[in-house]
Amino acid sequence: MCHVLFAAVLVGELRHVDYTALCRAARLVAAGLPLLATNPDRIIPDEDGFILGCGAITAALETATGRRARYLGKPNPDMARRAARRLGVPLERCAVIGDGWETDIALAHALGLPSILVDASAADDPAHGFQGEKHGARPSCTVPSLAALLDADLDAILGR
C-alpha cells in the first residue's frame, strides 16, 4: 500500500498542463493545503507572442478555490535578501536586471534598489505586464538586450 502525503501545492513554470493534475491540485488547496507559487508572471514572451506563465496557472487555482497563493520568488523581497546574504553581497550594492514589470521592476522598487529593464518595447505592451508608472515602479534605465550590458559601466548607468 502506498500513501502519498502533501504539505503544499507548488506551482512553477509549466510548458504542459495536465488538466487532471490541475484539478487534483485545486482539490488539495480547497482541502486546506497552502498554495505556493514561484512567481506571478501572467505571460512569458516567446517566438509566437507569449505563453501562459506561472501567475496564469496560479490564478486558475485561486479562482477555483477562493484561496490566495504565496509567491516565493520575485517580487518577494525576502527572496532577494536571502540571495544577497548567501552571496555575501550587501543588498544596497545590488541592482535588479530583468524584463518583467510585475516581477523584476516591482522587486527593485520594493527594496529601494536600482533596476534595469531589458527590452524597453516590452514596457509599452500591456500584454507584457502592468505599466510601471501606474504603480510607482519605474526602472532606473532600459536597455535593448542583455548583450548591451556586457560592455556597459553599470555603476555609471545606475548613478553610483
Task: Report helix angle 54-65 to 19-30, nearest 10.
Answer: 50
In this prediction the pTM is 0.71
* pLDDT tens digits, 25-36: 999 999 999 999
Mean pLDDT of the chain: 84
Total Cβ atoms within 10 A of residue 160:
11
The CATH class of 9-71 is: alpha beta
User: Grid coordinates standing for 55?
Assistant: 501567475
* pLDDT tens digits, 36-90: 999 998 888 788 888 899 999 999 999 999 999 999 988 899 999 999 999 999 9
Question: Could you give the 3-state DSSP secondary structure of residue 64?
Answer: helix
- What's the average model confidence in pLDDT over 100-114? 90
Total Cβ atoms within 10 A of residue 71:
19
Positions of E strands within 47-155 = 49-52, 70-71, 96-98, 115-118, 141-143
- Say if domain 77-157 classifies as CATH 3.40.50.1000: yes
Nearest-CA neighbor of 135 among 110, 116, 153, 118?
A: 110
Q: How far apart (Å, rounded) are the C-alpha atoms in residues 50 and 43?
A: 6
From-to residues of CATH 3.40.50.1000 in the chain:
9-71, 77-157
pLDDT band at residue 122 under the 50/70/90 scheme? very low
